[in-house]
Amino acid sequence: MDVFETDENGILITPYPLESGTYFLEEVDQKIDGYLWNKNSVEFTIDENSKLVNDDEFGILYEVKFENKAVKGSLELTKTGEKVELTNKGYVYTEINLKDVKIGLYANEDIYDSLGNLKYKKDTLIKILITDENGYAKVENLFLGKYYLQEIETINNHILDKTKYTFELKYKDQYTKIINYTTLLKNHLPKGTLEFTKSDFSNDKTLPNTLIEIYTENDELVYVGRTDSNGKIIINELPLGKYYIIEKQAPEGYKINPDKMWFEILEDGKIVKAIMKDEVIEVPNTGVNDSHIIDIIGLVFITGGVGFIIYDKKRKK
């Protein structure tokens, strides 16, 4: 048994003539970057019936072809989104598979085949994937190299995900035929945050333990709760739409604000700051003179229930 190596062109010429007879050509088990090990022997016979080639440099040759298969790559992705439902515990989001989402597969570098031929230049759109009813899509027979995924079109009011998801199909060894990359990509519905503050009308002191209710514009109850020790309630993940706040129980010593306070979630990531103010309940004092009574009546008239709405845009991460 003799061991030889191919040159840079993949050619092997034995250094000495082979006598007539039957031979076996076998590949030594080894890594060949980008290729699989060919474990099958090639049998050939040199005799009077062999087809020989007369080469000017090397003389009479017998040609044997021995092939290695290139390692290829594949991509599998699953796309999920959200379904929102209003329950007696508020809005509940559940994960669902998204059908018909369009996702682009791009080259993240110049992509070459196993022979060194340029197949795709960097940032070339190679294929548009469209997810099936299970949110699934697959691409096979990809050349090894670096790629990225980017969403092109989404469905059902989900937010378009503009993130570039990079990955690499990288040669592993001479035994792995397919380099498979699997990923899960998620979309979300647009939603915003309410930051509610209850305060004293006269001095802006925050008021804890105020009971409020929040309804949709269709009078569906969304939330019931009390302000915390800082006079605040923060509600995240409210779907786009119009809502109103009602005060159900004021803190001790304060009047209930009778007015509906409306607010609206207009876009994803929006923070709505709502400030509702209460008046102190005035205790009658029979010992005061008429001028003092006039002052108290004037104060009550001027300082009816007041609320403020402030809209703020959350910083993007």
Summarised one tens digit per residue, pLDDT across range 241-253 is 999 999 999 999 9
Q: How confident is the model at residue 308 (pLDDT cuts 50, 70, 90)?
A: low
Per CATH, the homologous superfamily of domain 72-186 is Immunoglobulins (2.60.40.10)
Domain ranges within the chain, ordered by starting residue:
1-69, 72-186, 191-313
At residue 293, the pLDDT reads 36
- Above 70 in pLDDT, residue 287? no
Q: How confident is the model at residue 12 (pLDDT cuts 50, 70, 90)?
A: confident
The tokens 């990809």 sit on which residue?
Answer: 142
Tally DSSP H helices, then E strands, for the chain: 1, 22
What is the rounded distance in angstroms from the CA atom of residue 205 to the CA atom of residue 185?
Answer: 46
The tokens 């290139």 sit on which residue?
Answer: 70
Q: Considering only the top CATH level, what class is 191-313?
A: mainly beta
Tens digits of per-residue pLDDT, 69-105? 999 999 999 999 999 999 999 999 999 999 999 999 9
How many CB atoms neighbour CB 36 within 10 A? Answer: 16
Q: How confident is the model at residue 169 (pLDDT cuts 50, 70, 90)?
A: very high
In the Cβ-directed half-sphere of 21, how many Cα atoms lie within 13 Å?
5
SS3 of 66, please? coil
Average pLDDT over residues 21-41: 88
Query: In CATH terms, are 72-186 and 191-313 the same topology?
Result: yes
At residue 131, the pLDDT reads 98
Return mean pLDDT, the chain.
89
SS3 of 43, please? strand
At residue 296, the pLDDT reads 37
Tens digits of per-residue pLDDT, 97-137? 999 999 999 999 999 999 899 999 999 999 999 999 999 99
- Above 80 in pLDDT, residue 194? yes
Q: How confident is the model at residue 316 (pLDDT cuts 50, 70, 90)?
A: very low
